[in-house]
């Protein structure tokens, strides 16, 4: 850039920190969304400890543990994918991101088998067979009569909380798929600036140079009729050079994915390990 | 590759060319000013609809016994009135309108942090509203649960509650996105030199409100989703016949809905904190105290929800604690009220229309707030719970507080938003009608409530007849005041004189840009080097000009 033009401060339109702040706010809202359900869980479990115990006996600890391991692994690969893209290693980033999506899918498949097995045994909220089954438990003396509601509430909350969590896994997978597509297509980087002030423009011209100082393009000299300049250009970044703006979407998806993982870390013991 | 425009006077955001034709230039615009006006038009339409419902409720109650409607229709009327007013008018309210239009300019920013998300918020509100209106006609009867949608009736009634509740969920999501946007805007887009303690108090109030929006709304969101799940998925977390506990619904509902009253009223306090110094030409008294009190109201407001449930069944200790915490929330509110009145002291007060609204806010909100403390008192509440005393209380806080501040804000920023002036004399008359009508409508309900008039009742004992009669007459005066006010504003919009950039002599940044502002707000990014309510420059300019009273006649035609 020419000496004069170089003094013009160039301000990026995209705000990396802003995007991060926004994402953290959103995660707070997610925590509170689940918070309502955790609150219900806490109150009902305190009220019906034996009912919850009986309910917990019906969950498959093995499948739950497998799913926990899968999600923990996926959090690791997500972090690795971000670390890779921050270093400009796109291929590696794509590999780890695909692996993360695969983990999410495996989790969902497990969940599907788990749920369908239960539904096959008529264990679902509002099921008459379940109500009868719980009545039998009372007769057999497994559950005291006043704890009967606890079993039903356990299954209601089990389906609601793991269901909402599964929905979040799905949303996370969709978000990752979008970013994967973006990475695979190697999109050109698109920048748009309008950083210049009226006074600063007078007598200046805009010059584009390559790293060796060769002029690629230059504009007319701006006279007093020019009030506003928009600079818009597209380029293909060198594979080793990735701008923070390009990975903020991946980082934010990573944050979301870690939260989904974290919620599961709480769901697993609260449902599978209480008996 | 580059484009250049060649004007010396910037075009206003109305004149700037849009990529879309006609109405699409508005409903697809990501400009915060256009979105602010979209919100204003939208929520004021909902207000007029809700007001008609209120008018019908009062009409029905003018005399004892049935007058015009069946009892079931009456139940639907107060439900729809509440749902529309709360979810579609008051909750989006001031943040959506002025948080959008004014906040970025007050901060010296070009727009909010996420303009496209901002547009999505408006769309979510509109879609949520459509869903709510659709729910009215898709059940076997009109919704009749009251705006609180209490369990277990919400799953038993044959009205289309799941749909109404889903609409409210969408509106809540819109509110969350708005809050998220404003917090990021305040943190990232303040102008050079605009430190946190140089922000106008309106910006502070929007900031505090935004935190409540994102931290409280998700709780009601999940609660409303659970209502839908109860109806369709057979789960029974609230319905006692399916082993749930209806009290849990009340807890979850009020964990959001008490903080929600501060979503309504904090921005209103922000507007008042901006109007009062402008019309006193004096820095606001206790700036930091007001700013911090907004934040502490937002915080303490979380811990008091139990006061809605004193008669529902709760441990005695919990009730005492909730009662005590409720008293505590009155402290920061009182701090604000004392600071506003201290600002008035020895100020050169100009009683323009916005100032009248701001002053009546202080008066009415004090009544609403103090009766709130009465209701928060455990033993008094056992007597007053679910009486018309409660109805009067929350109309004094929400309408007397939020409503008067919103109307004050509309008058205050009208010249900035539209570049036109309304007729000042008529605005004052409209205010007077509204103020008298308001007190006549709601004050008798305090008295009736003290004597035991239950709320939401279709019929009542003859001894309550005089209160209801005068209340209904008052509602007519109030509504004529509102219609007169809107008529005057509309007239100003169409025929009003051109407004100056700074008609009131305001000191905050929005008064330094043209009226109406250009698309990018500031042609040169502002640099802030003084406190928000520093009027020394404005007073200097005013004193040096030969006719300081010029402005006085401008609005009066
Ligand atoms: Cu409350």
For residue A227, CA distances in Å to A9, A96, B9, B10, B501 come to 17, 48, 10, 9, 22
B3:A225 CB<8 A: no
Of the candidates B141, B147, B153, the one whose C-alpha atom is nearest the C-alpha of residue B165 is B147
Pair A104, A215 in one domain:
no
Q: Return the CATH number at A76.
A: 1.20.120.80
Torsion sign across C-alpha atoms A249, A255, A258, A263: negative
Question: Which residue's structure tokens are 């330094």?
Answer: B512
* End-to-end C-alpha distance for chain B, whole angstroms: 50
Ordered alpha helix ranges (H), B14-91: 24-27, 32-60, 71-83
d(CA B323, CA B306): 8
Of B333 and A204, the structure prediction assigns the larger pLDDT to B333
Cα(B306) to centroid(ligand 1), Å: 8
Asked if residues A207 and A217 have their Cβ atoms less than 8 Å apart, the reply is: yes
In a domain, A1, yes or no: no
Pair A260, A156 in one domain:
yes
Pair A68, A199 in one domain:
no
Fold of B31-544: Cytochrome C Oxidase; Chain A (1.20.210)
Confidence category of residue A172, pLDDT binned at 50, 70, 90: very high
Question: Which residue's structure tokens are 């459509």?
Answer: B130
- DSSP structure string for B500-513: PSSTT---SGGGGS
Confidence category of residue A75, pLDDT binned at 50, 70, 90: very high
Low-confidence ranges of chain B (pLDDT < 70): 1-9, 545-557
In a domain, A210, yes or no: yes
What is the gyration radius of the CA atoms in chain B, in angstroms?
23
B524:A199 CB<8 A: yes
Q: Work out the average pLDDT over A144-173.
A: 94
B221:A33 CB<8 A: yes
For residue A261, CA distances in Å to A68, A76, A266, B367 come to 8, 10, 9, 49
In a domain, A11, yes or no: no
Chain B CB contacts of A154 below 8 Å: none
Of the candidates A259, A261, A258, A273, the one whose C-alpha atom is nearest the C-alpha of residue A81 is A258
Identity of the residue in A126, A148, A219 whose CB atom sits nearest the CB atom of B2? A219
Pair A124, A202 in one domain:
no
* End-to-end C-alpha distance for chain A, whole angstroms: 70
Identity of the residue in A30, A35, A227 whose CB atom sits nearest the CB atom of B5? A227
Chain B CB contacts of A153 below 8 Å: 236-237, 243-244
Cα(B234) to centroid(ligand 1), Å: 31
| Model pLDDT, residue B362 | 96
Q: Is the pLDDT of residue A233 over 90?
A: no
d(CA A205, CA B312): 73
Give the HSE-up count for residue A1: Cα atoms under 13 Å, Cβ half-sphere: 11
B215:A28 CB<8 A: yes
B113:A222 CB<8 A: no
In a domain, A138, yes or no: yes
Calculate the average pLDDT of chain A.
Answer: 84
Pair A30, A62 in one domain:
yes
Asked if residues A70 and A108 have their Cβ atoms less than 8 Å apart, the reply is: no
A35:B219 CB<8 A: yes
Pair A117, A208 in one domain:
no
Identity of the residue in A18, A29, A198 whose CB atom sits nearest the CB atom of B176? A29
Q: What is the ipTM for the molecules in this complex?
A: 0.89
Cα(A118) to centroid(ligand 1), Å: 42
Q: At what angle do helices A148-184 and A128-139 cross, to 10 degrees?
A: 140
Give the HSE-up count for residue B152: Cα atoms under 13 Å, Cβ half-sphere: 14
Pair A266, A146 in one domain:
yes
B1:A36 CB<8 A: no
d(CA B57, CA B460): 14
Of the candidates A60, A121, A34, A113, the one whose C-alpha atom is nearest the C-alpha of residue A268 is A60
Q: Is the pLDDT of residue A239 over 90?
A: no
| Model pLDDT, residue A14 | 65
Query: Which residues constitute the domain of residue A225?
Result: 188-235
Pair A192, A231 in one domain:
yes
Helix (H) or strand (E) holding B404: helix B404-418
Residue B89 corresponds to which tokens in the numbers above?
């008018």
In a domain, A125, yes or no: yes
Of A122 and A77, the structure prediction assigns the larger pLDDT to A77
Asked if residues A154 and A51 have their Cβ atoms less than 8 Å apart, the reply is: yes
Domains in chain A, number = 2
Pair A162, A81 in one domain:
yes
Pair A24, A158 in one domain:
yes
| Model pLDDT, residue A10 | 36
> How far off is chain A from B300, nearest CA to CA, in Å?
17
In a domain, A59, yes or no: yes
Question: Which residue's structure tokens are 């239960």?
Answer: A118
In a domain, A172, yes or no: yes
Of A157 and A212, the structure prediction assigns the larger pLDDT to A157
A125:B252 CB<8 A: no
| Model pLDDT, residue B5 | 43
> How far off is chain B from A224, nearest CA to CA, in Å?
8
A226:B244 CB<8 A: no
d(CA A56, CA A43): 16
- DSSP structure string for A210-273: -TTS-EEEE-PPP-TT----EEEEEEPPPTT---HHHHHHHHHHHHHHHHHHHHHHHHIIIIIS
Q: Is the pLDDT of residue A190 over 80?
A: no
For residue range A6-55, list pLDDT tens digits in order: 333 333 446 888 999 999 999 999 999 999 999 999 999 999 999 999 99
Pair A134, A216 in one domain:
no
Q: Work out the average pLDDT over A51-78.
A: 94
| Model pLDDT, residue A191 | 62
Identity of the residue in B114, B235, B524 whose CB atom sits nearest the CB atom of A159? B235
Residue A204 corresponds to which tokens in the numbers above?
């200046």
| Model pLDDT, residue A248 | 85
Cα(B362) to centroid(ligand 1), Å: 20
A127:B2 CB<8 A: no
Pair A192, A181 in one domain:
no
Ordered alpha helix ranges (H), chain A: 3-6, 16-47, 49-56, 61-86, 90-120, 128-139, 148-184, 198-201, 244-267
Chain B CB contacts of A219 below 8 Å: 2
CB atoms within 10 A of CB B510: 26
Residue-range domain boundaries for chain B: 31-544
Maximum alpha-carbon separation in chain A? 93
Buried residues in B429-464 as b, exposed as e (16+ CB within 10 A) = bbbebbbebbbbbbbbbbbbbbeebebebbebeeeb
| Model pLDDT, residue A12 | 40
> How far off is chain A from B470, nearest CA to CA, in Å?
44
Q: Is the pLDDT of residue A1 over 60?
A: no
Confidence category of residue A195, pLDDT binned at 50, 70, 90: low
- Under 8 Å CB pairs connecting chains A and B tally to 130
DSSP state of A207: E
Asked if residues A230 and A2 have their Cβ atoms less than 8 Å apart, the reply is: no
């Amino acid at each position: 850039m020419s000496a004069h033009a170089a003094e013009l401060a160039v301000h990026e339109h995209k705000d990396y920190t802003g995007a991060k702040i926004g994402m953290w706010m959103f995660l707070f809202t997610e925590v509170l969304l689940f918070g309502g359900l955790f609150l219900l869980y806490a109150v009902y479990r305190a009220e019906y400890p034996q009912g919850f115990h009986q309910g917990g006996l019906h969950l498959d600890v093995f499948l739950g543990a497998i799913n926990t391991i899968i999600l923990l692994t996926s959090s690791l690969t997500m972090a690795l994918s971000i670390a890779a893209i921050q270093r400009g290693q796109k291929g590696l980033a794509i590999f780890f991101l695909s692996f993360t999506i695969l983990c999410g899918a495996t989790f969902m498949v497990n969940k599907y088998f788990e749920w369908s097995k239960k539904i096959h045994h008529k264990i679902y909220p509002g099921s008459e067979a379940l109500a009868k089954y719980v009545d039998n438990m009372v007769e057999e003396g497994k559950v005291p009569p006043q704890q009967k509601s606890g079993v039903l509430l356990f299954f209601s909350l089990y389906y609601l909380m793991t269901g909402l969590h599964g929905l979040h896994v799905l949303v996370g997978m969709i978000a990752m798929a979008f970013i994967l597509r973006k990475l695979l297509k190697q999109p050109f980087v698109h920048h748009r600036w309008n950083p210049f002030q009226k006074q600063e423009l007078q007598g200046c011209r805009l010059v584009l140079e390559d790293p060796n100082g060769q002029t690629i393009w230059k504009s007319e000299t701006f006279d007093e009729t020019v009030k506003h300049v928009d600079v818009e250009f597209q380029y293909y970044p060198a594979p080793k050079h990735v701008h923070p703006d390009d990975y903020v979407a991946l980082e934010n998806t990573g944050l979301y994915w870690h939260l989904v993982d974290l919620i599961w870390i709480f769901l697993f013991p609260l449902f599978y390990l209480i008996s | 590759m580059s484009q250049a425009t060649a004007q010396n006077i910037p075009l206003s955001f109305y004149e700037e060319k849009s990529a879309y034709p006609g109405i699409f230039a508005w409903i697809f615009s990501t400009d915060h000013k256009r979105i602010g006006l979209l919100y204003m038009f939208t929520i004021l339409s909902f207000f007029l609809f809700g007001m008609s419902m209120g008018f019908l409720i009062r009409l029905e109650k003018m005399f004892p016994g049935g007058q015009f409607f069946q009892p079931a229709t009456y139940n639907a009327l107060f439900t729809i009135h509440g749902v529309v007013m709360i979810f579609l008018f008051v909750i989006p309210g001031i943040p959506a309108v002025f948080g959008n239009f004014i906040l970025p300019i007050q901060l010296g920013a070009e727009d909010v942090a996420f303009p496209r998300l901002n547009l999505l918020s408006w769309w979510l509100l509109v879609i949520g509203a459509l869903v709510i209106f659709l729910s009215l006609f898709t059940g076997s009867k009109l919704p009749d649960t009251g705006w609180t949608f209490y369990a277990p009736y919400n799953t038993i009634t044959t009205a289309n509650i799941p749909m109404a509740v889903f609409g409210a969920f969408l509106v809540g999501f819109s509110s969350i996105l708005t809050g998220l946007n404003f917090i990021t805007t305040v943190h990232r887009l303040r102008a050079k030199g605009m430190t946190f303690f140089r922000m106008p108090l309106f910006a502070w109030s929007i900031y505090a409100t935004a935190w409540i929006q994102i931290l409280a709304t998700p709780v009601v969101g999940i609660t409303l989703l659970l209502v839908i799940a109860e109806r369709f998925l057979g789960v029974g977390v609230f319905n006692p016949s399916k082993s749930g506990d209806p009290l849990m619904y009340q807890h979850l509902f009020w964990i959001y809905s008490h903080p929600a009253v501060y979503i309504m009223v904090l921005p209103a306090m922000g507007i008042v904190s901006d109007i009062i110094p402008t019309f006193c030409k004096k820095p606001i008294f206790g700036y930091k105290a007001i700013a911090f009190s907004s934040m502490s109201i937002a915080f303490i407001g979380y811990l008091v929800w139990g006061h809605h449930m004193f008669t529902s069944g709760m441990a005695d200790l919990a009730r005492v604690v909730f009662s005590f915490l409720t008293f505590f929330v009155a402290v920061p509110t009182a701090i604000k009220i004392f600071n506003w009145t201290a600002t008035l002291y020895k100020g050169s007060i100009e009683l323009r229309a916005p100032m009248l609204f701001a002053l009546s806010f202080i008066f009415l909100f004090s009544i609403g707030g103090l009766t709130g403390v009465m209701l928060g008192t455990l033993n008094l509440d056992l007597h007053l719970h679910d009486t018309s005393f409660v109805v009067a209380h929350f109309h004094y806080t929400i309408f007397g507080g939020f409503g008067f501040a919103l109307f004050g804000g509309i008058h205050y920023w009208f010249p900035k938003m539209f570049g036109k002036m309304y007729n000042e004399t008529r605005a004052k008359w409209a205010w007077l009608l509204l103020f008298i009508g308001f007190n006549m409508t709601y004050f008798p309900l305090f008295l009736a409530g003290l004597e035991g008039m239950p709320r939401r009742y279709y019929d009542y004992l003859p001894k309550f007849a005089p209160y209801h009669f005068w209340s209904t007459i008052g509602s007519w005066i109030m509504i004529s005041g509102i219609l007169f006010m809107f008529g005057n504003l509309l007239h100003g919009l169409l025929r009003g004189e051109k407004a100056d950039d700074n008609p009131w002599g305001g000191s905050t940044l929005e008064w330094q840009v043209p009226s109406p502002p250009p698309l990018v707000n500031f042609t040169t990014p502002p640099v802030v080097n003084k406190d928000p309510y520093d009027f020394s420059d404005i007073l200097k300019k005013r004193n040096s000009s030969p006719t300081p009273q010029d402005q006085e006649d401008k609005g009066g035609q």
